[in-house]
Amino acid sequence: MSNQLNGSSLTKKVIIGMGLGILIGLAINFSGLNSEGSPLNVWLVSGLFHIVGKMFVNSLKMLVVPLVLFSLICGVCGIGNLKQLGRVGSKSFGLYMMTTAVAIATALVAASIVAPGKGMNAETSANFAGREAPPLSQVLIDIVPGNPIAALANGEMLQVIFFAILLGVSMLMVGKKAQPLVDGVEMLNEVMMKMVDIVMSAAPYAVFCLIAYSVANLGMDLLGELLSYVLVLIGVLLFHLLVTLMLTLKLFSGLNPVMFLRKMRNVQVFAFSTASSNATIPVTLRTVTERLGVNNSVASFTIPFGATINMDGTAIMQGVATVFIANVYNIDLGMGDFLMVIFMAVLASIGTAGVPGVGLIMLSMVFSQVGLPVEGIGLILGVDRLLDMVRTAVNVSGDSVVSCIVAKGEGNFDDEMFNNPAAGLFGKDEIRGSSGD
C-alpha cells in the first residue's frame, strides 16, 4: 500500500500549486500585459503554461480508457454475481438521476428568489450556436458500440462501459479456463494504477500552469457585469456540495461528511483545474478505492458511469442560467417550463460526456426545447470557463458520494480505510517504487 509518512506532501504541493496559479494568473490578468502576440502571452501564458497544462491533461486522458476498461473487467469479475451487478447499476443510476434533479430544482428555486439578470440589457456580443437534443431513442442506441475498438479509440464512455461489462461477464461464465485472462487483466489494472501515481507526481506544477493560464485569460470586466449570475451560481454550487450532497451521504450511508470532504480535496482540485470529469476519472477512481474505502467492484462502474451521466454542478448551472436569461429577455417561465427544464437537463446529462464546456451545449438543448433564445447563451459565454471549473469539482464530488453510498449498501466498503486519514495518500516514495507492498 501507499507510503503513509510522506503521503500528504503531494496533496499539499498541489494545493500550493493551485494557490500560486491563482495569484500569478491574477497578476498577469490585472497587469494587462497578456494581450495576444505580446511576449508574455507568447512565451509564458500561451507558451509554457498552456503547453505544460495541456500535456498533463493529455496524460490523464491517456489513462482514462485503459483504466476504465481494465478496472471494470476486474470489478465485474470481483462481484462475481450478476444480480449484485444489476443492483449496483440500478441503485447508482437512480441516485445519479435523483441528485441531478434535486440540484437543478434547488438552482431554479434559488435563482427565482434572487432573480439575477432583472433589468439587464439583452445585447449579446458573442454568438452561440446551439444544438438540438438527440432523441431518447438515439441515446439508448448509442449505448451499444457497433465497433468496440472505435468506442475505445474515441473514448465513448458508455460504450466502453457496456463492452467491459459484457467482457467481464463472459470471462466469469467461461470460468476456470479464463482465469489466466482474469489474472492478466488484474495485473494490467494494477500497472495502470501505478501510472496514475506517476502522472500525479507532475500534478503540483501542472495544476499551477493550468490555473495560471485560465485565470490569466479570464474576462474580468465581464465578471463585474455578470456578478449576480456568477454569485448565485457559485452559492448554489456550494450549497449543493456542502449541504445536499453531504446530507445525502450521511442519510444514505452514515459516513462522516468531514472525512469525505477532506479526502476529496485532491479530486476536487483536479476537476477544478482540468474542468473535465472525464480527465479526472483516474484520480477519482484512485481516491475512492484507495482513500475512501470503496471496493473496486463498485467504483470501477460507478465512477466512469457517473463522470458521463451525473453532472449535478452542470445541472445547477443550467437552472441558474435558464432563470437568468429568461430575466434578461423578460420571458416569464411557469411551473410547466420549470418541470420541462428539470426533465430536459436530466436527460441531456445522460448522453453527454463530462468534458470542458459541454454544459453550454447541454444548455442549448434545454433552451431549444423550452423555447428560450439560444443566442442568449452568448451572454454567459465569457465567464463560463471559471464556472465550468467550479461545477466540475461539484460533479466529481457527486459521483464519489454515490459511489460510497452504493458500496456501503452492498457491503463492499472498507470502513477502516475510510476512517483512517492517512490511508492511500499519494506519496513521493510510492512514485519512486518503494511502496512496500
Residues that bind ligand ASP (CB under 6 A): 275-277, 311, 314, 354-359, 388, 391-392, 395
Of 375 and 384, which CB lies nearer to ligand ASP in the complex structure?
Answer: 384
Q: What's the min distance (Å) between Cβ of 377 and ligand ASP?
A: 12
DSSP-assigned letters across all residues of 153-199:
HHT-HHHHHHHHHHHHHHHHHHGGGGHHHHHHHHHHHHHHHHHHHHH
Q: Which is nearer to ligand ASP, 60 or 311 (CB)?
A: 311
Which residues have CB under 8 Å from 232's CB, separation 6+? 110, 111, 114, 116, 320, 324
N- to C-terminal Cα separation, the chain? 6
Nearer to ligand ASP, 99 or 277 (CB): 277
Listing DSSP states for 349-408 in one string gives HHHS---TTHHHHHHHHHHHHHT--GGGHHHHHTTHHHHHHHHHHHHHHHHHHHHHHHHH
Nearest approach in angstroms of CB 274 to ligand ASP is 8
- Closer to ligand ASP at the Cβ: 23 or 62? 62
Grid cell listed for 212: 495560471
| Comparison of 357 and 421: residue with beta carbon closer to ligand ASP | 357
CB of 77 to ligand ASP, least distance (A): 29
d(CA 398, CA 65) in angstroms, rounded, equals 21
Q: Which is nearer to ligand ASP, 244 or 352 (CB)?
A: 352
Query: Nearest distance from residue 239's CB to ligand ASP, in Å?
Result: 17
Residue nearest to ligand ASP (CB): 359
Give the relative orientation of helices 246-253 and 257-274 as an angle to the nearest 10 degrees: 140
Using DSSP, state whether 422 is helix, strand or coil.
coil
- Per-residue DSSP letter, 37: T
Name which of 277 and 412 has its Cβ closer to ligand ASP: 277
Minimum CB distance to ligand ASP, residue 361 (Å): 8
CB of 380 to ligand ASP, least distance (A): 12
Instruction: Closer to ligand ASP by CB, 358 or 372: give it.
Output: 358
Q: Provide, rounded to whole angstroms, the least separation between the CB of residue 1 and ligand ASP.
A: 30
193 vs 355 by CB, closer to ligand ASP: 355
How long a stretch of residues is the chain?
A: 437
Lookup: cell for 417? 480505510
Percent helix, percent strand, percent coil in the chain, to nearest 5: 80, 0, 20
Beta bridge partners of 413: 294
3-class secondary structure for 123-135?
Answer: CCCCCCCCCCCCC
Look up cell 426533465; give the residue: 343
- What's 226's DSSP letter? T
Contact (CB, 8 A) for 67 and 196: yes
CB of 240 to ligand ASP, least distance (A): 13
The nearest distance, CB 411 to ligand ASP, in angstroms, is 30
Q: Shortest approach of ligand ASP to residue 321 CB, angstroms?
A: 11
Nearer to ligand ASP, 62 or 169 (CB): 62
One-letter identity of residue 85 = L
